[in-house]
Chain A
Amino acid sequence: MSPRVVVLDYGSGNVRSVVRAVERAGAEVELTADPAAADRADGLVVPGVGAYAACMEGLDAVKGGRTIGRRLSGGRPVLGICVGMQVLFDQGIEHGVVTAGCGEWPGVVERLRSPIVPHMGWNTVEVPDGSRMFEGIADERFYFVHSYGVREWTLAPERPFTPPHVMWTATGDDRFVSAVENGPLWATQFHPEKSGDAGARLLRNWLATL
């Protein structure tokens, strides 16, 4: 049976592409803001484009942070995409405005320091051994479009837990976290739904964990 996935609909940009791409990867997808449906689904996708503060406002309005927290406490998979990844960290700073995030991971989302911003286009990802997310696609390029990122990962690996896989990408002399695979919580700074066949494989890799 196909896994059932909810794409959280909290008023963030172009979510149709996310829905279609996850469907194509083999899931039954519902686009909704209903917390009960988001709790029940086999997997929850948190998309996000635009400003951090606006995304957090939208997420708060549908109690998205609470839904994410509840799912994770039960070990139930969540995938954050782009700003949907950024909001998983402690805070975002855009134009000097500090906005509290969901705080699932320590870290600050701040403006990239590369000479060309936004970081837009197809870039590579440094993938550590043993990543399930990048199984079969570690050498592929993925589509990014963002001006902010997390440039310091501070969550210490603690035994007996499985340490997270943290993926990095470089732009100019800058370097930022481009994906994280941490137990049931996965996230990508790039857009798998816009990354052609490589993106489709990544989504299938995620669906395989549901």
Chain B
Amino acid sequence: MSLAVRVIPCLDVDAGRVVKGVNFTDLRDAGDPVEMAEVYDAEGADELTFLDITASSDDRATTREMVARTAEQVFIPLTVGGGVRTPDDVDVLLRAGADKVGVNTAAIARPEVLSDVARRFGNQVLVLSVDARRSDEQPSGFEVTTHGGRRSAGLDAVDWVRRATELGVGEILLNSMDADGTRQGFDLEMIRAVRAVTHAPLIASGGAGRLEHFAPAVEAGADAVLAASVFHFGEFTVGQVKQALSDAGHPVR
């Protein structure tokens, strides 16, 4: 026996509200992240990720309160990312009840934030979130982007993951900006290239549109798969993804 492939729904939240793709008819309050978290938990989600897209610092307090309410009700791991810049930001989210915290842009500007966080809280709490796309400008053929994929960070994505692993990140969330939103499947080459340079668990994200898209991501080297809209719009359930993975011979919970 071995680890189950994790299936992780991602919820985008703004000021404590779920902002995109809500298609659950039986919710009392479709924008309430806590209620959605409970639904995903009941469907068999192995973990939940909140991506906080809140702009103002006032609203970040709302996010913390939302994380705390979720952690009171849902007894599976919670990852929170978005706007995390310093070890103190990480501390606040862990205290609110997050198990893991995603760091993205801040680490590009200051890679040492990764080692600072890993030293203070252990590498198991630290998820490096990488928004990457294909590019001829970088040796691996993949570059890191910022601003939702609109700008190049001028970094080779594969090299960045290698460095971040050395700096102590405990997990990689690899999001293909080319595949994101296309529903044409994961960028398998990108997953393979990143898998080859890190011993940290790898979450594949971006491009899931059909049930048969998930197993190839695992075969390319992903330990977990993350999706947002296909779950929120009710196209299929977490349970159906697990069944598809299981049918392809991968262990699931």
Main secondary structure on A side of the interface with B = mixed
- In the complex, which of the residues A20, A116, A122, A170 contacts B201, with contact meaning CB atoms closer than 8 Å? A116
| Nearest-CB residue, chain A, relative to B170 | A118
Q: Is the CB of B46 within 8 A of A118?
A: no
Query: Which B residues are in CB contact (< 8 Å) with A195?
Result: 75-76
Q: Is the CB of A17 within 8 A of B71?
A: yes
Query: Which A residues are in CB contact (< 8 Å) with B32?
Result: none
User: On chain B, which size bracket covers the interface?
Assistant: 20 to 34
Q: Is the CB of B121 within 8 A of A50?
A: yes
- In the complex, which of the residues B4, B71, B75, B171 contacts A122, with contact meaning CB atoms closer than 8 Å? B4
- In the complex, which of the residues A13, A16, A118, A171 contacts B200, with contact meaning CB atoms closer than 8 Å? A118
Query: Which A residues are in CB contact (< 8 Å) with B12?
Result: none
Query: Closest CB of chain A to B241's CB: distance in Å?
Result: 15
- In the complex, which of the residues B71, B76, B122, B170 contacts A120, with contact meaning CB atoms closer than 8 Å? B170
Q: Is A21 an interface residue (CB 8 A)?
A: yes
Distance, CA A50 to CA B72, complexed state (A): 22
Q: Is B223 an interface residue (CB 8 A)?
A: yes
Query: Which A residues are in CB contact (< 8 Å) with B76?
Result: 143, 194-196
Distance, CA A199 to CA B77, complexed state (A): 12
Query: Closest CB of chain A to B150's CB: distance in Å?
Result: 31
Contact mask for chain B residues 60-94; partner A; CB cutoff 8 A; 1 contact, 0 none: 00000000100110011100000000000000001
Q: Is B6 an interface residue (CB 8 A)?
A: yes
- In the complex, which of the residues B41, B77, B199, B253 contacts A145, with contact meaning CB atoms closer than 8 Å? B77
Q: Is B224 an interface residue (CB 8 A)?
A: yes
Q: Is the CB of A115 within 8 A of B199?
A: yes
Query: Which A residues are in CB contact (< 8 Å) with B123?
Result: 118, 147
- In the complex, which of the residues B71, B95, B125, B200 contacts A20, with contact meaning CB atoms closer than 8 Å? B71
Residues of B that sit less than 8 Å from A by CB: 1-4, 6, 41, 46, 68, 71-72, 75-77, 94-95, 97-99, 121-125, 170-171, 199-201, 223-224, 253
In the A-B complex, list the 9 residue pairs whose CB atoms are closest, starting with the nearest.
Answer: A50-B122, A124-B1, A121-B3, A122-B4, A122-B253, A141-B253, A145-B124, A120-B201, A123-B3
Residues of A that sit less than 8 Å from B by CB: 13-14, 16-17, 20-21, 24, 49-51, 115-124, 141, 143-147, 170-172, 193-196, 199-200
